[in-house]
């Protein structure tokens, strides 16, 4: 059986993708988490900041997923 041994960047990128995706979903479910966490409302409560955070985190999750996939494809095989 051939096994891949992905390098450390694969695990970092996979972790960042999962974290970004999770925070993106959190922002969709609880939009004001950011304002509660930091104790301020930079967008004066109109929701623009939450949408920017959600979109940014979703883009980051997709980008990290692609990078992790590339690392997986180039990982050496052992078997």
Residues 15-19 have a mean pLDDT of: 96
Q: What's the rounded Cα separation, in Å, for the pair 22 and 19?
A: 5
Q: Is residue 20 in some structural domain?
A: yes
Beta-carbon contacts of residue 47 (< 8 Å; ≥ 6 apart) = 31
| Domain extent for 71 | 14-78
Q: Is residue 52 in some structural domain?
A: yes
Q: What's the rounded Cα separation, in Å, for the pair 68 and 65?
A: 5
Q: Is residue 72 in some structural domain?
A: yes
Q: Is residue 7 in some structural domain?
A: no
The answer on pLDDT for 79 being more than 80 is: no
Q: Is residue 67 in some structural domain?
A: yes
Q: How does residue 13 score in pLDDT terms, banded at 50, 70 and 90?
A: very high
Total number of domains constituting the chain: 1
Whole-number mean pLDDT of the chain?
87
Q: pLDDT digits over 37-68, tens only?
A: 888 777 777 878 888 888 999 999 999 999 99
Q: Is residue 6 in some structural domain?
A: no
Global model pTM greater than 0.85: no
Q: In the chain, pLDDT over 90 holds for what percent of residues? A: 42
Q: What's the rounded Cα separation, in Å, for the pair 54 and 12?
A: 21
Q: Is residue 61 in some structural domain?
A: yes
Q: Is residue 9 in some structural domain?
A: no
């Amino acid at each position: 059986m051939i096994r891949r041994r992905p390098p450390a960047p694969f695990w970092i990128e996979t972790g960042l993708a999962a974290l970004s995706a999770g925070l993106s979903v959190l922002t969709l479910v609880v939009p004001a988490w950011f304002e509660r966490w930091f104790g301020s409302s930079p967008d004066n409560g109109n929701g623009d900041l939450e949408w920017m955070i959600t979109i940014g985190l979703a883009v980051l999750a997709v980008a990290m997923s692609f990078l992790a996939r590339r690392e997986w494809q180039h990982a050496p095989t052992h078997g």
